[in-house]
Structures are given as structure tokens and as C-alpha cells.
Chain A
Amino acid sequence: MDRQSPASGWFETLARHRVALAVLALAAIIVIAPYEALATNILIYGLFALGCNLLLGYTGLLSFGQAAFFGLGAYGCGLSIVHGGLSVLPAIAIGVLSAIGGAILIGAMVIRSRGIYFSMVTLALGQCVSALLYEADGWTGGENGLRGINAAHVNLGFFNVNLLNPTQKFFFVLFFVALALAIVARLLSSPFGVTLEAIRENEKRVVACGYDAQATKWVVFAISGALCGLAGSLYAVHLSIVPIDIVNYHSSGLVVMMSLLGGMGTFFGPFIGAAIMLLLEDVVSHFTSHWQLIVGLLFIALVLFFPRGVWGTLLSYVRSRA
């Protein structure tokens, strides 16, 4: 959907600079959101949804286990700060690496299954990860979550980022999100990215053309896991605790919803989805405790009336006018 022919016109010009535009738009969230912590949350969940969307929107694989990688990232990062005494940057690296490790392992088991079986197996294995983290309570805090993640500052040599300052923390997280966006944009415009979309459209034909669809899916599964793990690591740094609930399949479901709400297979959609969902939650929960009712109705309405999502609908409207 995001792939454009090298034609002229303002829309194409904008689309060529999508990473820069996306980062600028995301930087504006701190102005729009009612408070900085929520803005940071939107970035983190948007990144999580970006990872999910790489599988769902671009490759056509609906994983219901992405929360496992978010959780592996969060626990990997949190544990190396709490028990390993590492500083923030190496801890984030360890978080991402543990998510990649988990994704390679789980990917090897699930990549052969297709369609609904893929969704179910990822769900089950994701719950396995959740159960393991829950049972290792001596280490992870089990039901109470992992507490006491001390992430106060990051020393970059020339500048000391104070993570206790919400604005500095926002831009610290935005840096990683921008990095991820640049990587994803590069990936999508490479032959690898085209293969992903080809798999989504017709896997048999991709195989017939001589591409190794299994290996491609495995690699994209690992990349998606890395993005989710990065989001998880940042989440641990952001909140200073890791609640066990985030590894649950409901968390996977939530992020699938965010991707869909924004628009599957659109570059910026996941962030739109995350922003709408989290802002709405923040506003609605002021008025009623039955926030889930609104979310549920939103999903139903979305599927029935806006299957392309908010950003997807907007994009196709603009593209038809341009």
C-alpha cells in the first residue's frame, strides 16, 4: 500500500520523506497529549504496533503472541538493571537481544503453520513465555511484576539525559522510535520488503518464483520480535516496573487492534492507532470505569465500517484526490 511508483506530485514527494515526516509528527505528540508520560506511552505502543504491523500488515501473518517479545524485551532490560546492575543503554540492548532470541526460537516452531494455525500457535507459545516469566517469581517478581528498575539517567558522554525529567525521557524514547522507523522504511523499500508483500499477496507464487518464503518469514518474525522487544525495553525504562499483564495475550490483542485501528500495512498507521486508543482510554476513563465497553464497540465498528483503519482510509482518500 505504501509502495509508490516514482511519479511526481506533492503526495509522492511527501511519501519519499516519510521517516522525517513521521518523526516530526511524533515529536508533536508531546504538545497534543495531556501529559508527557502519556505521550511517551503512545510512542512505545506505536513502536510495538509497528513491529506487529510488519508481520500483519506487510507479510499477512496475524501473530497473537507479540506480547511475548514485548515482555522479553521489558524483562530482559529490567532484569539486567535490577539484578545485573547494568546502565540503561546496555540494558536496552540486552532486552532487544532477548526478544530476538525468543523470536528466532518461537519463529522456528511456528513458521511452518499457516493461517489460523499460525495465530493459534503464536498465541499458545506467547502464553508459554508468559507462564515462564510468571513462575520464575524469584527473579521476575511473578504476579507482582518486576519492581525497582532504577533508570534515572543515561550518560552519552557529551550530554547526560535525565530520565526523571518527562520531556527528556520523551525525546530519549523518540530517538529509538526514529531509529526503528528508519530501519523499517529502509527494509520495506528493499527487495526483502517487496518479498514480504508478495508473500502476503500470494505465497505459492513467491515460492514458485524461487524465493525462500519460509526463511523470509522467519527473518521478518525475528525483526518484528526485535521491534516489539525494543518497545518492551523502553517500556521498562519508562515505567520503572514491568507488570506481568503486559505479556498476556490480551496485550497482543490490544496491539493488533492498534495496528488495525491505524490501518494495516501503512507506515504511520500503527502510531495513529496507538495514539487514538491511548488518548481515548485516558479521556473515557475519566468518565466511566467501563472503558472496555467503548473499546469493544470501537473494534466492532471498525471492522464493519472502516476495515482499512483511520490512517488507511485517510491515505486512500488523499491518494485518490492527489
Chain B
Amino acid sequence: MTLDLFLLQTFTGLALGSILVLMAIGMSLIFGMLTVPNFAHGAFYMVGAFAGVVALRLTDSFIAAIIAAPLAVGALGMLVERTLVRPLYGRGVDYPIVLTFGLSYVMVEVIRILFGKEGIPFETPEFLQGAVSLGFGYFPLYRVFLIGVCVVVVGALYLCLERTKFGLVVRAGAADPEIVRVLGVDIRKVWMLIFGLGAGLAALAGLLAAPMRGVTAEMGIPVLVEAFVVTVVGGMGSLVGASVAGLLVGVVMSLTSLFSPKFAELSMFALMALTLIVRPRGLFGRPGHLG
């Protein structure tokens, strides 16, 4: 056990955490605004990876796939919100859970019908192969790219939420949708956009994870649980919380697996239990209508 190995593993954790951050931000925004715990988030992640595979076959460009897949899945998300989730607003938290749970079954099964049950191998794109020196060791270039994409996306989202008029409406809507509606904003359009944004972010995460984990219809299942843990640890509805907690969970899991791989998954739940005992609303959660 050397310091270099420790640092390297921490970096691996940050790369895994980046994927979780992208997942958890969408989930957290959707929950914070719509009060919908999106159990189909893992399915959007999985569909994103398959959409990426299709885009890659069509265009032969990874960058094009990275742009196309989130847009396509984002549109799918907006459609889902408009047709399935919208009738449920104001009916309590149980019904959206069941609905999105059922939806995830449908999405997984449709993908199995379309692409088969075996899954599809996914090569790391050529220009991102190889490793870079970080001073304490060599690190796969692709993972550096992954962290970079995550930083850019989160940064852009943060600016959008804090500096634009749309962001203002979103934040106000999360705090009190009634008042926002009274002030003349069509909050339902914002909700639809947020659901689409969340689905798109999940798709991006799925596609980015594809070269490391492969593409299967079941790939969203473990990630869904991890993303829920991150959202809860960070505090539902908090962008900063989701980002910090995502990286934290990634690093904790990664370091635990260095000592004992068997307990990596368990460490995540232990972290969550600990957080909730100390801070029942998560690290950055605010008291409010979220429970």
C-alpha cells in the first residue's frame, strides 16, 4: 500500500463518481421540483448507452454520439413527463414511484427485444485510448476525459441555475410552485423541461460509462441504487449536494474496494446510513416540502 496507489485509486473513484454525479443531479432536480422519485432513471441511463451505440453506428463519431444520445433521451423524457407523469401530480409520492418502476420494466424489456439479451461491447474511442501521467502514476486518458466532461456539464448547469432567468424560475419552482404559478409562470413547462434535462443527463452518464462497463439492458439497475444513495446523501433537490456526494461515494467505494472489494457496495450504504443519522435530510438538504 503506497501513497501513489492510494492517489491513483482516489482518481478512479472520482471518475466513477463523475458518472454518479451526472445521474444524481438529474434525479435530484426531478425530485426537488416535481417531487417524483424517478425509478426509471437507471433505464434512461441504459437507453442513453444504447442510443449512443446507434448514433455511433450511424455517424462513426463518439462526439456526435455524446451530443445526440442525451438529446434523444431528453426528448423521450419530456414525452414521458407529458403523457405519464403529469396526470399524477398532487397524488402523493407512491404513485409516481410505481409508475416509473413499471416504466423501467417496460424500457428494459423493449431494449431486450430490440437489441437482444447479450448486450453490446463498446470500445473506448481511439482518440481517448492510452494513459496520461499524473505525476504519481499513469491514469487512463478516457477517465480523465470523463472527469472533464462532468466538470464542464456541472459547471454549465450551475451557471444556468444561478445566473439565468430560467434558473431563477427553476429555483423558485423548487421552493414554492404555487407562488411561481400565481406570478404567471407556466410551471408545467418548466417541469417538463426539467424531466427531459434529467433524462438527458442520465443518458449522457450511461453513454460515458459504456466504454468502462459495456452496454447491457440491465446496466441501469446497480447505478439506479447508487444514484439514489448519492441523492439522499447529498440532499434531495440540491445540485451542490449531488455533486459533492457523487464524488464522495465514488471515492469511498473505490478506496474500500482497494482494501476489500467485497465491501465496496456495503460501504456506500454505510456512508448513507451514517449521513442520515447525523443529518436526516442529507448533507446539503434544506428543510421544506420534501419531507
Chain A residues near B (Cβ < 8 Å):
56, 62, 109, 112-121, 123-125, 127-128, 131-132, 135, 249-250, 253, 256-257, 260, 264, 290, 292-293, 295-300, 302-304, 307
Contact = CB atoms under 8 A, between A and B. Distances in A.
Contact of A109 (B95, B112, B273): B273
15 contacts: A116-B37, A116-B290, A119-B97, A120-B228, A120-B231, A128-B266, A135-B262, A249-B225, A260-B94, A293-B106, A296-B105, A299-B98, A299-B105, A303-B95, A303-B99
Interface string B129-172: 00000000000000000000000000000000000000000000
B82 to A, nearest CB: 13
A125 B113 CA distance: 33
Nearest to A113: B280
A218 to B, nearest CB: 15
A65 to B, nearest CB: 11
Nearest to A132: B266
Nearest to B101: A253
Interface in B77-116: 84, 87-88, 91, 93-95, 97-99, 101-110, 112-113
A206 to B, nearest CB: 17
B184 interface: no
Given A249-B225, A299-B102, A127 B291 contact: no
Nearest to A109: B273
B232 interface: yes
Given A109-B273, A257-B101, A115 B95 contact: no
A124 B229 contact: yes
Nearest to A295: B105
A253 B263 CA distance: 24
B99 A123 contact: no
Interface string B220-255: 010001001101100010000000000000000000
Contacts of B94: 56, 62, 260, 264
Given A62-B93, A62-B94, A307-B91, 17 more contacts: A56-B94, A117-B291, A120-B229, A120-B232, A121-B276, A124-B228, A249-B225, A253-B39, A253-B101, A260-B94, A260-B98, A295-B102, A296-B105, A299-B101, A300-B103, A302-B102, A303-B88
Given A123-B225, A293-B105, A295-B102, A114 B291 contact: yes
B5 interface: no
Interface residues of B, number: 47
A124 B281 contact: no
Contacts of A132: 266
Contact of B98 (A114, A120, A121, A257): A257
Nearest to B107: A296
Nearest to A303: B99
B269 A124 contact: yes
A292 B93 contact: no
Contacts of B35: 116
A264 to B, nearest CB: 8
Given A113-B291, A256-B98, A121 B104 contact: no
Given A119-B93, A135-B263, A124 B232 contact: yes
B270 interface: yes
B272 interface: yes
A116 B102 contact: no
B210 to A, nearest CB: 22
Given A127-B225, A135-B262, A115 B102 contact: no
A260 B280 CA distance: 28
Contacts of B31: 116
A303 B262 contact: no
Nearest to A256: B98
Nearest to A307: B95
Contacts of A257: 98, 101-102
Contacts of A131: 265-266, 269
B3 interface: no
A250 B270 CA distance: 20
Contacts of A256: 97-98
Nearest to B231: A120
A59 to B, nearest CB: 12
B277 interface: yes
A117 B35 CA distance: 12
Contacts of B88: 303-304
Nearest to A135: B262
A250 B273 CA distance: 20
Contacts of B87: 304
Given A113-B280, A117-B281, A121-B276, A304 B99 contact: yes
Contacts of B265: 127, 131
